[in-house]
Amino acid sequence: MNTVKLNVNGKEHELPLIEGTEGEKAIEISGLRSSTGLITSDTGYKSTGSTKSAITYLDGENGILRYRGYPIEQLAEKSTFLEVAYLLVYGNLPGKVELDDFVSKITRHTLIHEDMKKFYEGYPAKAHPMGVLASMISALSTFYPEAQKSDLDPEEVDTTIRRLIAKISTIAAWSYKKSQGFPVMYPQNRLNYCDNFLYMMFAQPTEDYEVNPVVSRALDTLLILHADHEQNCSASTVRMAGSSHASLYAAISSGVCALWGPLHGGANQQVLEMLEQIRKEGSDVKMMVERAKDKSSSFRLMGFGHRVYKNFDPRANIIKKVCDEVLEELGTDDPLLDIAKSLEEAALSDSYFVERNLYPNVDFYSGILYRAIGIPTEMFTVMFALGRLPGWIAQWKEMRDNNEPISRPRQIYVGHTKRDYVELSNRG
Ligand code: CMC
């Protein structure tokens, strides 16, 4: 079966069926409007494929996640974040020479222009770090205007990619330092990506700072787990913004904003805030579960459910283990962790959650892990952005390399039909 037949008012139209390498099938409807005058309607894109992509394979029913064909479990165990970044962006695992070159270039791009430091002085002390991140990334385009050219030069694109991956960690760590009123710490080329980030976050000029290797490796794993997730809200935003040929910086800044929302990356911050609220209200997890089931309230259990994982989130399984290791290493005794465990148990044995396949997602555990590492709650979504950056870049690059047209969905108009303007004096 290579086509499907559509009967419109007695007239048959044949639509091609396309099939992905993992056997996923889709009806190709790009010619639908011209042949039938109809469009499709699918708010939230629950049944709509927006592109063909060779980056990430995700099977939500069976809890499978692969980057460029490699299972997430293998990458999380054996690879590093920068190697995964290379894999996502360029399509294959790098050889030693390529990896060394990629890592060294990223290491050497971590400084940000000194003038950008002044921007931090303009943000209010309570500025959310995601707002700072989005605007600082957007500001990078003003320092590197060559990235705005519509005709892409592959070498310039590579430099922009390296600049972004390198500078995002400095921008993120400095936004934290500034929010605390601490002096910023300059990146250290002798340190690897995660060690350097932890150093810029937690070192002080007044004392020695040693990176804990268990913490650094846990962070690296977290970034790997977040590195891509196919056509999610922020990746689609990056592709959509980039489809107008806006610069890569502009597209990534749009992605940061899309990630910020509590239904997407913002959920990890909300998880911690929810656990804190449960603690303040007497640690009654059952009451929270009941509140989440109550349809008259908009409250949801944050960190539960997923648009595509309807069985389990493979990232959550990995991060749960890493989380236990870090808590043991640091000897953390965190009451919020006990609440998280009871909440997980209560929800997983509740028919409402079981029937709707609502399982803990990656954000449920990542928040707990970030907290144990000492990352402040407001920075959680920034950490997600750090991890997701290579995925966004890969999605943008694929879209541009494939010469995809500008994204421009249709709509079904449901507003007023034509009506005549009424003078202000005649409007009751
Ligand atoms: N708590 C309580 N009820 C829920 C929850 C939840 N966390 N999630 C979904 N439901 C219910 C929802 O009310 C609906 O019930 P009914 O069928 O009776 O109307 C049903 O489950 C299906 O939910 P949906 O909203 O149609 O599912 P969706 O695919 O549109 O939403 C989601 C997916 C992730 C936005 C949603 O599950 C949610 O809001 N979860 C909490 C926020 C969260 O943890 N987000 C992080 C996602 S993972 C990180 C990432 O990849 O971005």
Closest by Cα among 75, 71, 96, 138 to 387: 75
- The model's pLDDT over 296-349, given as tens digits with 9 standing for 90+, comes to 988 899 999 988 888 888 999 899 899 889 988 998 778 888 898 899 999 999
**172 neighbors 386 (Cβ within 8 angstroms):** yes
Question: Does 166 sit in the ligand 1 pocket, CB within 6 Å?
Answer: no
Distances in Å between the Cα of 224 and the Cα atoms of 54, 261, 294 are: 18, 21, 36
**The pLDDT of residue 362:** 86
- What's the pLDDT at 125? 83
Residue with tokens 């990995």: 318
For ligand 1, whether the C-beta of 388 sits within 6 Å is no
The one-character DSSP state at 409 is: -
Least confident of 31-45, 57-71, 143-157, 204-218: 143-157
* Dist. CA 316 → ligand 1 center (Å): 16
Question: Rounded to two decimals, what is the model's pTM?
Answer: 0.91
Task: Please work out whether the CB of residue 292 comes within 6 Å of at least one atom of ligand 1.
Answer: yes
C-alpha to C-alpha distance for 267 and 275, rounded to whole angstroms:
12
Residues comprising the chain, all counted = 428
pLDDT in tens, 92-119: 999 999 999 999 999 999 999 999 999 9
Of 170, 176, 204, residue with least CA distance to 189: 170
CATH, domain 3-49, list 3.20.20, 1.20.120, 2.40.160, 2.20.28: 2.20.28
Range 267-377: architecture per CATH: Orthogonal Bundle (1.10)
pLDDT in tens, 366-382: 888 998 899 998 899 99
> Which residue, judged by its Cα, is nearest atom 50 of ligand 1?
264
Closest CA to 157 of 380, 413, 406, 393: 393
**Which position has the token pair 């003038």?**
115
Considering the candidates 195, 220, 313, 363, report the single residue annotated as catalytic.
363
Q: Does domain 71-263+379-397 have CATH number 1.10.580.10?
A: yes
Q: Token pair of 376, please?
A: 């402040």
pLDDT digits (tens, 9 = 90+) for 67-89: 999 999 999 999 999 999 999 99
**Cβ of residue 310 lying under 6 Å from some atom of ligand 1:** no
Residue 385 has pLDDT above 80, yes or no: yes
56 lines ligand 1 (CB under 6 A): no
What mean pLDDT do residues 255-277 have? Answer: 91
Out of 313, 361, 362, give the residue to mutate to test ligand 1, the one with the largest number of ligand atoms within 8 Å of its CB: 361
Task: Name the pLDDT band for 46 (thresholds 50, 70, 90).
Answer: very high
Helix (H) or strand (E) holding 58: strand 56-59
Selecting among 220, 228, 306, 313, the annotated active-site residue is 306
Cα(375) to ligand 1 centroid in Å equals 26
Q: Measure Cα distances from 132 to 20, 73, 111, 117 in Å.
A: 39, 33, 17, 12
Pick the atom of ligand 1 nearest to 264's CA: 52
pLDDT, residue 123, reads 92
Comparing 227 with 340, which gets the higher pLDDT?
227
What is d(CA 411, CA 413) in angstroms, rounded to the nearest whole number?
A: 6
Q: Could you tell me which residues come within 8 angstroms of residue 310 by beta carbon, excluding any fewer than 6 positions away?
A: 60, 61, 357
Ligand 1 proximity of 356 Cβ (cutoff 6 Å): yes
What pLDDT sits at residue 155?
A: 94
Task: Report yes or no: 221 and 76 within 8 Å, Cβ to Cβ.
Answer: yes
Ligand 1 neighbourhood includes 315 CB (under 6 angstroms): no
Instruction: Tell me how far the alpha carbon of residue 283 is from its chain's centroid.
Output: 30
Task: Give the residue extent of every domain in the chain.
Answer: 3-49, 71-263+379-397, 267-377
Could you tell me the distance, in angstroms and rounded to a whole number, from the CA of residue 280 to the centre of ligand 1? 25
Q: Measured between alpha carbons, how far is 43 from 366 in angstroms, rounded to an integer? A: 29
Q: Is the pLDDT of residue 14 over 90?
A: yes
Residues 6+ apart with CB under 8 A from 343: 275, 278, 285, 288, 289, 301
Tell me how far apart the alpha carbons of residues 13 and 5 are, in angstroms, rounded to a whole number: 6
Kindly report, residue by residue over 232-256, the tens digit of the pLDDT.
999 999 999 999 999 999 999 999 9
> Is the distance from the beta carbon of residue 300 to the nearest atom of ligand 1 less than 6 Å?
yes
| Helix ranges, 22-80 (H) | 32-36, 72-78
Q: How close is the Cα of 133 to the center of ligand 1, in Å?
A: 27
Q: Is 228 a catalytic residue?
A: no
Determine the Cα angle at 56 with ends 398 and 359, to 5°: 140
pLDDT score, position 29? 96
Q: Is 50 helix (H, G, I), strand (E, B) or coil?
A: coil
Measured in angstroms, how far is the CA atom of residue 207 from the centroid of ligand 1?
45
Please state, in angstroms and rounded to a whole number, the distance separating the CA atoms of residues 180 and 202: 11
Q: Whose CA is nearest to atom 25 of ligand 1?
A: 307
**How remote is the CA of residue 99 from the centroid of ligand 1, in Å?**
39
100 annotated active-site: no
From 86, 82, 58, select the one nearest 72 (Cα to Cα): 58
